[in-house]
Structure 1
Amino acid sequence: MAPPSPLPLVSLSCGVSMQVRRWLLLNQFLNQVLLILRVQFTLINATYLSLTGDIQQHLQTMFTLLRPEDNIKLAVRLESVGPQMTRYMVVVSTNGRQDTEESVVLGMDFSPVDGSCSVGLVLPLWSDTLIHLDGDGGFSVSTDNRVHVFKPVSVQAMWSALQSLHKACEVARCHNYFPGSLFLTWVSYYKSRVSSDQTRINEWNAMQDVQSHRADSPVFPVHCRPTERELTERQIKTSLREIMTQKDLENVTCKEIRTELEMRMTCNLREFKEFIDNEMIVILGQMDSPTEIFDHVFLGSEWNASNLEELQKSGVQYILNVTREIDNFFPGVFEYHNIRVYDEEATDLLAYWNDTFKFISRAKKSGARCLVHCKMGISRSAATVIAYAMKEYGWDLKKAFAYVKERRTVTKPNPSFMRQLEEYQGILLGQQPIRTQKIIHETTKDENQ
């Protein structure tokens, strides 16, 4: 295997002593040897990667982005939406504070223009990390309420990636690495160096099962690509929102909206008439402004989450997306937290309320406002805001529910979420000091009389 091209030696001034010159030359030579050994070690451990093309140069470039004490355990090339886009999932490890191995997944992008490398994703591997095969040549990695999908370019590459990830996750579980601890604090170095363009970042954050997409959302390649009809329906949704925002809905008919939609899309949409009518009803139900529940919390719908002007006017900087089917519309503008669940009886929403509380509290602490939304702002997001109110203000379920419903009258969590709120009330009550429990009990008793 040919070693990487040697780096140019520094020019040495004649005024420098021979001993210093020798020391500098030796030091630089050793640095070059270390770089070559790191690259060769990675290539040996990445035998599943084809050494044709630019892989060796890519690996050498990747190392220039790492801290000196960090190492690449694995680099896997991934499928990409754009044919000219080159991206890698890179597992980087180091010895942490307790002299145990800590690992992070970096998403690295290479420019087709100049071959430069940038970081587009930073995903620490915590003790709660789970890996699932998607049945379509890829896998998802979920940790700390984040889910990212990776599709290696070959079966062998996927197998090697899974082996490396499982090993790193086993170490994380063994030593109980958890967010907020003193483990993986070095990851902040890479978070501060995320510099890929927004399109690349969007691809790293692409979510499966999304039905409502932002305009530039990447689609999953090969078998996961949507059908022609699904693409048309997606375009209809986007264009319909824009048209209905601009029209006086008191003085326009459904037919007029559909005619303008056909003109904008330059095609006949007769076979989509029923879909368009249903979508108009959904949009109408979402078009109300988000409801201000507290000074720092808004409760709203998909429409509110997709209205950039309204969000900025309201001072929103954080968005809590409590849906599986709706995209993050402005990932480069707002800070997002996703709870990827459906509005179903079987959904365990209670399991996420500790994390949603922390996210909303972070917004409050920073002096910002947070929009909590689902599809309609009725069930999932409403239950989540009620749970937040119970914990933040020490209210019982009855008071928190009444408070939220008074401000947003359509509030109606599904029966399962209401039972979970009752269970959550018991959990919170169990965490209260005895004196506080007595006060809450007596207050509830007085209200019932």
Structure 2
Amino acid sequence: MIGGGIAFYPTLAYNLFRNYIQPTKWSWYSRVNDTLILGAIPFSSMLEVLKNEEGVGGVVCCTEQFELDAAWGAIKPKEWINNGIEFHHTPMKDFFGTTSQKDMTSAVEFIERITNQGKTCYIHCKAGRTRSATVAVCYLMYKYGQNVEEAKATLSKQRPQILLHEVHMQTANEFRQHLDRIKEGKN
């Protein structure tokens, strides 16, 4: 838990506090559309609502393993699976970490498979602002043919607290280029 791990508890506490004092402006999770939710690390106390009321059938987790282990009460992969919810792990370092195009494609394909079953996919990182937002932007580009700015605007409308740094925008732009190459038959 070195490096990004040092900031884990203070930043988790910050998000819990913001959600507590501004629940309408800083929600724990936000529905993006009929089949997509973007949010912070979900806790076991939320499982029944996510499964039964929100219709979650799949989860893309963008945290590192130590974050899942360190977050007391967070839903663990086994708990999702034991409740009939598929789990996909795309770990990224907090704040400025991103993932490979291969792993991003795998996450997007997972989301598409879950949503094609008529289920909702919950994409999360620790705060639901950066790492998971990057995956959500890439999925929106894939699903709706949007460019990076359009996908980011769509997401921001539903979850205003998203925060994509230059490295995340670069990942999204590279994924858009990847999608364009596929469309042109050049991949």
Normalised TM-score (structure 1): 0.33
Counterpart of 2:32 in structure 1 is 293
Is the partner of 2:98 in helix, strand or coil?
A: coil
Aligned to 2:121: 370
Q: Are the aligned partners of 1:304 and 1:311 in contact in 2 as well (CA < 8 Å)? A: no
Deviation string for 1:204-239 (max 9, x for gaps)? xxxxx6xxxxxxxxxxxxxxxxxxxxxxxxxxxxxx
Relative to structure 1, is the Cα distance of residues 286 and 377 closer, same or farther in structure 2, using a 3 angstrom cutoff?
A: farther
**Structure 1 residue 310, shift from structure 2 partner:** 2.5
Q: Which residue of 2 aligns with 1:266?
A: none
* CA distances 1:161-218 after superposition (whole Å, capped 9, x unpaired): xxxxxxxxxxxxxxxxxxxxxxxxxxxxxxxxxxxxxxxxxxxxxxxx6xxxxxxxxx
CA-CA distance at 1:384 after TM superposition: 0.2
- The answer on 1:315 being equivalent to 2:66 is no
Percent identical pairs in the alignment equals 24
For the pair 1:407 / 2:158, whether they are aligned, the reply is yes
Question: How large is the RMSD of aligned CA atoms in angstroms?
Answer: 2.5
Matches within 5 A, 1:204-353: 280-286=13-19, 288-303=27-42, 307-312=46-51, 313-324=53-64, 325-327=67-69, 328-329=75-76, 330-331=79-80, 332-333=82-83, 334-345=85-96, 347-353=98-104
CA 1:282–1:397: 2 relative to 1, 3 Å: closer
1:13-412 mapped onto 2 (5 Å cutoff): 280-286=13-19, 288-303=27-42, 307-312=46-51, 313-324=53-64, 325-327=67-69, 328-329=75-76, 330-331=79-80, 332-333=82-83, 334-345=85-96, 347-412=98-163
Q: Distance in 1 between matches of 2:32 and 2:169?
A: 19
Q: Verify the 8 A CA contact 2:57 2:120 in the aligned structure 1.
A: yes
**Contact map agreement 1:305 1:373 (CA 8 A) in 2:** no
Instruction: Output the amino acid matched with 1:390.
Output: M
Indicate the SS of the match to 1:281: helix
2:180 matched residue in structure 1: 429
Bigger mean CA offset, 317-326 vs 369-378? 317-326
SS at match of 1:307: helix
Partner residue, 2:24: none
Q: Which runs of 4+ in 1 moved over 4 A?
A: 277-280
Q: Number of residue pairs matched? A: 160
Which structure would you say has the larger RCO, counting Cα contacts within 8 Å and 6 or more residues apart? 2
TM-score with structure 2 setting the length:
0.75
Q: C-alpha deviations, 1:250-282, integer Å up to 9, x for none?
A: xxxxxxxxxxxxxxxxxxxxxxxxx7x876433
Letter in 1 for 2:18: G
Higher helix share: 2
Unaligned stretches of 5+ residues in structure 1? 1-208, 210-274, 435-449
Q: 1:394 to 1:346 in 2, by over 3 A?
A: same
